[in-house]
Structure 1
Amino acid sequence: MPTPLDRRMFLRATAVAGGTAAFAGALWHQAFAGPAQPGTGPYGALLAADANGLQLPQGFSSRIVARSMQRVAGTRHTWHPAPDGGACFPDGAGWIYVSNSEVPLVGGVSAIRFGADGAVTSAYRTLNGTTLNCAGGATPWNTWLSCEEHDAGLVYETDPYGQKSARSHPAMGRFKHEAAACDPDRKVVYLTEDQSDGCFYRFRPSAWGDLSRGTLEVLLGTGTGPVRWEKVPNPQIWITPTRDQVAGAMRFDGGEGCYYAGGVCYFTTKGDNRVWAYDAAAERLDLAYDDDLVTGAEPTLKGVDNITGAASGDLFVAEDGDDMEINLITPDGTVAPFVRVVGHDESEITGPAFSPDGTRLYFSSQRGQSGFIGGTDGVTYEVTGPFRR
């Protein structure tokens, strides 16, 4: 069985190429020498923790919008345990934030509806009876793809507005799903797999906007540089796991978050603390960040996990553990902490997502201060401030 990509492979490759990794797409406005490096971020240093235990830059403020196993304020809905992947959707003058529940058997998805002034107006369930719903991704047609993280896991398409029943999509494969990102230019959905020898996939639906039928493909290559795709023979019912069905499939050490913008799909791998950049037009794979390749300073970003982006081109990367930060990576290749959660040492940050107008960032501490694995102490936050747009 192939082994995960070796870091030394990349170091050797960049040495031959002169050490330069160029990135395409709207997010990366200029090439920079090698993966992103620590520096001073656009918002400055983090201040002392606020009343909610968040360290934020000057000009930003926070509030807690939900706590696991407690009613969402102003509603009769009890927020789920172990909040994980999330996304925001427009709702008239307001918006909706959806969040997965990464617990077995009852899992599912909950939603919070906000009015134009940011006040919570309702909260409700959009998916029930699934298991270990980890991350996922929003679609261009305003549905939420909720991914199950177990060996026979499915992708469920849910309605953030609570009007339509959720549907499973076995054609997208049965494996340990993590996150999804839609590419409307090529009409495909990228998928990560949370295995130490996992793969990176794309799903080609037979008709864009309908994920019930289509072809699952896996990425092939030998490291950074040109890559290609090949069809997975049996994505739905298998004796040989999906990741082992195609010889030469690239291996990634614990696939996590996935985010697409400007022709590039960014995805993270937690086992080696990397942020990958797949240039979809050129079919080329590069590294946007690798903590092993940080020079001259201690890496501020470790335990890479969920990822999202702002209209400015900044990537926001959440940490699983380490010092419980969301770090941003700017288009010019600077890595800097944006927020730190204090006193949640046994937790992880999950579900970062911006409101449609880009002025509010939502995320959760999955296990809260207690660190209880069942996630009954989870906390969901909102940060408001002068985000670059």
Structure 2
Amino acid sequence: MPTGLNRRTFLRTTTVAGGTAAFSGALWQRAFAGPAQPGAGPYGPLQAADANGIRLPSGFTSRVIARSMQRVPGTRYTWHPAPDGGACFPAGDGWIYVSNSEVPLVGGASAVRFGPSGEIADAYRILTMTTLNCAGGATPWGTWLSCEEYALGIVYETYPQGGRSAVQRPAMGRFKHEAAACDPERKVVYLTEDEGNGCFYRFRPAAWGDLSRGTLEVLVGSGVGAVTWRPVPAPELWTTPTRDQVQGAMRFTGGEGCYYAGGVCYFTTKGDGRVWAYDAANSTLDLAYDDDLVTGGEAPLTGVDNITGTVSGDLYVAEDGGNMEINMITPEGVVTPFLQVLGHDESEITGPAFSPDGSRLYFSSQRGRSGFIGGTDGHTYEITGPFRG
């Protein structure tokens, strides 16, 4: 780092000079040249906490749909501990919310099925006896990719509708998996790795819709700008960790959430508080947000983690710690708090996902009010309100 410059000043100068104006993704079609900055959100300020301890904009309401180690209301199913990554899927005239369990040995994933009016109709297991299932991603063909977060972790393809056993997908690599996002245009799956010197990957299946065979590739580059991909020689059985097999592989400090929309894959890195944006059409990498590049005050979004989005182009980024908020990043380049969970100071927000019609947002407080690392006090919520389409 140049003498006399702190990291924030140096990054602001070099990143903005590098320019994001050429970025062609959905978020950047109307954004200024530079990472998102604080501003007023489309829903107005957060109000006082409701009965569930959640601060929301006016017009939005919350409900608790599940508590760890307790029966899901209206069912005989006991909700799993440490709820983590999640996604929603259409199901007849209702929908399903899937949630991972980030505990060792028995982790897996569960599902809650909702009726057409949002009533809970059922809850059940879709994966069990796996380890530290952290995040994952939904596929266009209606399955949930549940990712194990340990050195030899694997991706499991699961079936939210139930009635079918989960399947291992070792061709997608054995490493400390975090999240996944499908790109149907290029027919690839992007994958993040939660290591301090981890990588960003994409998996090219031999046939789209079949993840049993294919090629795992790693992002190669030196930072913001043009990047390329190179195949990982031994993604399944290795003596050299996956992230160290390709010279020039770009390093990221703790890969977390991953979300694809409009030709861009957005992913977060917790070690440096960034939301990255990979422009798949042009094979370039840029920053949608960096908490060191916030000007004119404190960064509203810290502890970046899981990420999702809406058809309007808004990104929703959950915090691991921070102020226990979910922040929005709008297509206009504004970052602003959307909600805050009070009284869960030793927890983290996980699993943000919208119902198929975009009218409801689901997420969890992994460790709840107790903050117990085993996650036995996890809370899973639903937010309803006038989300913009």
Distance 1:265 1:374, change over 3 A: same
Distance 1:14 1:335 in 2: 18
The question of 1:126 aligning with 2:126 is answered yes
CA offset digits 1:324-377 (Å, max 9, x no partner): 000000001000000000000000000000000000000000000000000000
3-state SS, counterpart of residue 171 of structure 1: helix
The question of 1:194 aligning with 2:194 is answered yes
The question of 1:273 aligning with 2:273 is answered yes
* Corresponding residue for residue 258 of structure 1: 258
Amino acid of the structure 2 residue aligned with 1:153: G
The question of 1:304 aligning with 2:332 is answered no
Distance 2:125 2:21 in 1: 44
Matched-pair contact (CA < 8 Å) for 2:8–2:293: no
3-state SS, counterpart of residue 15 of structure 2: helix
Amino acid of the structure 2 residue aligned with 1:312: S
The question of 1:106 aligning with 2:106 is answered yes
* Corresponding residue for residue 13 of structure 1: 14
Matched-pair contact (CA < 8 Å) for 1:23–1:31: no
3-state SS, counterpart of residue 293 of structure 1: coil
* Corresponding residue for residue 183 of structure 1: 183
Distance 2:272 2:298 in 1: 16
CA offset digits 1:159-218 (Å, max 9, x no partner): 000021100000000000000000000000000000000000000000000000000000
Matched-pair contact (CA < 8 Å) for 1:23–1:30: no
Distance 1:261 1:16, change over 3 A: closer
| Displacement after TM superposition at 1:93 (Å) | 1.1
CA offset digits 1:284-321 (Å, max 9, x no partner): 00000001000012110000000000111000000000
Distance 1:9 1:228 in 2: 25
Matched-pair contact (CA < 8 Å) for 1:54–1:341: yes
* Corresponding residue for residue 230 of structure 1: 230
* Corresponding residue for residue 350 of structure 1: 350
Distance 2:24 2:348 in 1: 30
Amino acid of the structure 2 residue aligned with 1:81: P
- Structure 2 length normalisation: TM-score? 0.97
Distance 1:275 1:7 in 2: 15
Distance 1:388 1:108 in 2: 33
CA offset digits 1:83-105 (Å, max 9, x no partner): 00000000111000000000000
Distance 2:173 2:163 in 1: 26
| Displacement after TM superposition at 1:16 (Å) | 4.5
Distance 1:274 1:172 in 2: 25
Identity %: 76
3-state SS, counterpart of residue 14 of structure 1: helix
The question of 1:42 aligning with 2:54 is answered no
* Corresponding residue for residue 3 of structure 2: none
Please show how residues 47-196 of structure 1 align to structure 2 within 5 Å.
Answer: 47-196=47-196
Distance 1:74 1:297 in 2: 46
Distance 1:163 1:102 in 2: 23
Distance 1:71 1:333, change over 3 A: same
CA offset digits 1:28-80 (Å, max 9, x no partner): 32241310000000000000000001000000000000000000011000000
Distance 1:15 1:158 in 2: 41
| Displacement after TM superposition at 1:256 (Å) | 0.1
Distance 1:31 1:37 in 2: 11
Distance 2:55 2:23 in 1: 31
* Corresponding residue for residue 4 of structure 2: none
| Displacement after TM superposition at 1:24 (Å) | 1.6
Distance 1:126 1:168 in 2: 13
| Displacement after TM superposition at 1:22 (Å) | 4.0
Matched-pair contact (CA < 8 Å) for 2:21–2:28: no
Question: CA RMSD for the aligned pairs?
Answer: 1.2
How many residues in Structure 1 have an aligned counterpart in Structure 2?
Answer: 383
Please show how residues 356-375 of structure 1 align to structure 2 within 5 Å.
Answer: 356-375=356-375
* Corresponding residue for residue 32 of structure 2: 32
Moved more, 236-245 or 30-39: 30-39
Matched-pair contact (CA < 8 Å) for 2:45–2:57: yes
Distance 1:388 1:16 in 2: 33
Matched-pair contact (CA < 8 Å) for 2:16–2:33: no
Amino acid of the structure 1 residue aligned with 2:14: A
Matched-pair contact (CA < 8 Å) for 1:9–1:223: no
Amino acid of the structure 2 residue aligned with 1:287: L
| Displacement after TM superposition at 1:273 (Å) | 0.4
* Corresponding residue for residue 248 of structure 2: 248
* Corresponding residue for residue 3 of structure 1: none
Distance 1:371 1:21, change over 3 A: farther
